[in-house]
Amino acid sequence: MSVLPSLRRFGSLLLLFALLGCQPQSDIRSLTVIYTNDEHGYMEGMREGENAATLLQLWRENLDYQPDGAFLLLSGGDNWTGPAISSWTGGESMTQVMTAMGYDASAVGNHEFDFGLDTFQLRSAEAGYDYLSANTRWKVSNQVPVDLGILPFNLIQVNQLRVGIIGLTTTSTPYTTNPAYVQELSFTQYEPAVREAYALLLQQDPDLVFVIGHVCLREIEPLAAAVADLDIALFGAGHCNELAAKQVGESLVVGGGYHFSSYATASFQYDLQQASLVDSNAETHQHQGAALPPDTGIAAIIDRWQSQFEDILGEVIAVSEQPISHQGTALPSAVVQSWLWANPEAHVAITNLGGLRAPLPAGEIRLSHLVNLMPFDNSIIALQLSGADLQSAIEQGGRPVVAGMQRDGNQWIMQHTGEPLEATATYRVLVNSFMYSGGDNFGLLAQADPEGYDTGVSYRQPFVDWMRNETDLTSLYE
């Protein structure tokens, strides 16, 4: 646990003591913010007994958390995409869990768009909390897409305090979700968006103003310094899965970690009579709730979704003698090799490493585990590329995983011929639809072949089929 105390506006403990001693205690209002981010659908948790249900109970035990008390429960975004229990439903199950936990607002993360704008609109309508992003705009009008359920900010009254919350979304969204899904949207620079929203929010006379962003600390901290004149009490980060509690100027900056495995808190003491912040502090915490009984309401929601998916996703596909990492080379290579196995007319297959999200367990590997590994709604696109364009795409794209050819010094050797890649020759190349739309800096693919053929096959399916047929998985072990 890290602890960060801060006395704002009052230069000495003596003055603080005098203020608290001389003024009626009823003038001082307390507020505690509980902050998570990058939950990614991990309602079941990353470790046994440490899930959304035990986390809520942990907040009750350690913080005396009550949704209608002097608390705000906030998220830095990326709520949904991850394990099958969330991804398979397009985030519906996770939205139910976060609503039941009492979330008040979430920043819009790039992965909130993974299932398209229509699905996001459904989820935002179902959520019992607001989705906020002041820098997400329709390209044609430069307006925040409130019709999708995105607000630039909201104002919440809690413990007689009026708290304004501004949201932000990472400017990397056009290439960190499927670009085709957000082609009508722009993601503008943070500081102008914050200043514009802040000016509008001041018209509603807030006591405190917070910014929650699906934005990494390396960008949130300079932003906090750049808008120090705006009197923003708290900045929340996201996107880079960071756990943090620090101070930048007069503002607290927090990050909640990831996957419900940790969280941050920020506590405020506000003097209503003086209309000023008396004290603030921030802390980080690990989710260590395995010894606690789970919250029965949240546990029931999780159990209901688990039972619904047992028949659909419970099929045993293979059995492994040991866990299989998705962060090495063997498993990613096997995934793209399976594309060539399923489509032998193709010469090369490429995926982006970011499309592989979870390891496979030892023992029974179920269909749900393969959905965890590849949770996105991506299909396989077949392209005709020259050798020169193929090499350029690989060199420009982010973290490519390649099958069908291998690097030998400064050249690529084709697997099917043993000959070097020829710049003027044409090759049949398989990629996923995220890449073909320009994700992870693979924009050259569509430029080189604007008539790529969508096979309609999920990028997951060939690997599922290969696993069903493969009895020896030792090639996947690092």
Q: What percent of the chain has pLDDT over 90?
A: 88
- Structural contact between residues 131 and 45, judged by C-beta atoms closer than 8 angstroms: no
Q: Is residue 120 pLDDT above 50, yes or no?
A: yes
Is the pLDDT at 12 greater than 90, yes or no?
A: no
Could you tell me if 410 and 270 lie in one domain? no
- Looking at residue 25, what is its pLDDT? 54
Looking at the chain, the whole-number percentage of residues with pLDDT higher than 70 is 95
Asked if residue 127 lies in contact with residue 80, where contact means CB atoms within 8 angstroms, the answer is no
**CATH number of the domain where residue 320 is located:** 3.90.780.10
333 and 293 in a single domain? The answer is: no
Query: 223-242, pLDDT tens digit by residue?
Result: 999 999 999 999 999 999 99
Residue 381 has φ and ψ, to the nearest 5°, of -110, 130
Residue 18 pLDDT: 45
Verify that 129 and 245 share a domain, yes or no.
Answer: yes
Given 265, 287, 305, the domain boundary residue is: 305
pTM of the model: 0.87
| 266 vs 25 pLDDT, higher one | 266
Q: Distance of CA 405 to CAs 133, 190, 421, Å?
A: 43, 42, 8
Q: Most confidently modeled of 11-15, 16-20, 22-26, 408-412?
A: 408-412
CB 329 within 8 A of CB 80: no
76 pLDDT higher than 50: yes
Neighbours of 122 (CB within 10 A): 17
Residue type, 178: N
Give dist(CA 315, CA 325) in Å, integer. Answer: 21
* 271, 305, 339 - which closes a domain: 305
**Residue 65: what pLDDT?**
97
Looking at residue 6, its pLDDT comes to 42
Whether 291 and 345 share a structural domain: no
297 lies in the same domain as 330: no
pLDDT per residue as tens digits for the range 207-228: 999 999 999 999 999 999 999 9
Half-sphere exposure of 225 (CA within 13 A, CB side): 7
- For residue 33, what are the domain limits? 3-305
The residues near 286 (Cβ < 8 Å, ≥ 6 apart) are: 1, 261, 262
277 and 234 in a common domain:
yes
Q: What are the residues facing 405 on neighbouring strands?
A: 414
Residues 36 and 106 in one domain: yes
Query: Residue 92: is its pLDDT beyond 90?
Result: yes
Q: Which of 309, 402, 254, 351 is nearest to 87 (CA)?
A: 309
- Supply the pLDDT for residue 478: 86
Asked if 127 and 265 sit in the same domain, the reply is: yes
pLDDT for the residue 26: 62
Q: What is the DSSP letter of 16?
A: H
Same-domain pairing of 281 and 321: no
One domain for residues 223 and 300: yes
Residue 361 carries which DSSP code? P
Are 26 and 63 within one domain? yes
Mean per-residue pLDDT of the chain: 93
Report pLDDT digits (tens) over 334-354: 999 999 999 999 999 999 999
pLDDT of residue 470: 87
pLDDT digits over 372-418, tens only?
A: 999 999 999 999 999 999 999 999 998 999 999 999 988 999 998 99
Confidence of residue 290 (pLDDT cuts 50, 70, 90): confident
Where does a domain end: 305, 327, 360?
305
Do 263 and 203 belong to one domain?
yes
Q: What is the pLDDT of residue 404?
A: 97
- From residue 57, how far is each of 287, 288, 444, 448 by CA, in Å? 11, 11, 49, 54
| Total of domains in the chain | 2
Question: Residue 270 maps to which CATH number?
Answer: 3.60.21.10
Predicted confidence band at 476 (pLDDT cuts at 50, 70, 90)?
Answer: very high
- Alpha helix segments (H runs only) across 128-277: 173-176, 190-202, 217-226
